[in-house]
Each structure stands twice: as structure tokens, then as C-alpha cells.
Amino acid sequence: MGKLLYGSSSMDVEFDDRALMHLQIVISAKLRRQECFVFSWRDAFDVGDGRSSIWMHSSIPLYFRYFGSRIPAINREWIEALTVSANSPGGLHFSDEPGVNPTAHGAH
């Protein structure tokens, strides 16, 4: 499990390394263009099984920490789906990889 650490309070959210890599690509592209947006995900059962959202802004510290050392293969269809979501008025909503078992790549 990798972690997305956000802000000076060191809020951290766990994602599978493969999911985190795809999120990094989409989030980095938005922030590189100085585009702010909301990022939402479903929480794991052990932290309440609800939903969480954060405001993503380029001035807020962001750190992607991976558990494994290998870079996963990139699924362009997943990048496209996440990008479409990120560019919508509701912001980026994490979704599972298309065609893959949803329990394998969700937020934790």
C-alpha cells in the first residue's frame, strides 16, 4: 500500500501502489497547469467506510509514497477515466481500474 500525504498536517490516505501511480499522473497534470480541484474517494471500512474529499491546490505540500520499488504498467483507459472525472465540475472521484476486481485497487 502506498500513501498520498497531503498538507502540513501530514494527512495520509492509503492506495494500492498501482492506483496511486495513476492518481499521481492525473493529479500532477492538473496541478502543473495551476488548476485547483476537489479530490474524493471512498474510505476503507477500518476508517469508517464513508467518503472523504480534499481541496487540491499547487501551494499545498503533496507527497506520493510507494510501498514497492517497481513502477507499475500504466492503463491509459484508467488515466482517461480519472482525467475526465478531474475535469468535471465535481472534481476527481477515485474509481477502480476498468475491468479489474474493485477490491484490488481501492483506497484504504
Give tens-digit pLDDT for 60-86: 999 999 998 999 999 999 999 999 999
Could you report the per-residue pLDDT of 44-63, keeping only the tens digit for each?
888 777 899 999 999 999 99
Is residue 21 within 8 Å of 71, Cβ to Cβ? Answer: yes
What is the C-alpha radius of gyration for the chain, rounded to an integer number of angstroms?
13
Tell me the pLDDT band of 39, cut-offs 50, 70 and 90. Answer: very high
Residue (of 56, 68, 53, 51) closest to 2 by Cα position: 68
End-to-end Cα spacing for the chain: 8
- Going from N- to C-terminal start, the domains of the chain cover 2-96
CA–CA dist 100, 70 (Å, integer): 20
Q: What is this structure's pTM?
A: 0.86
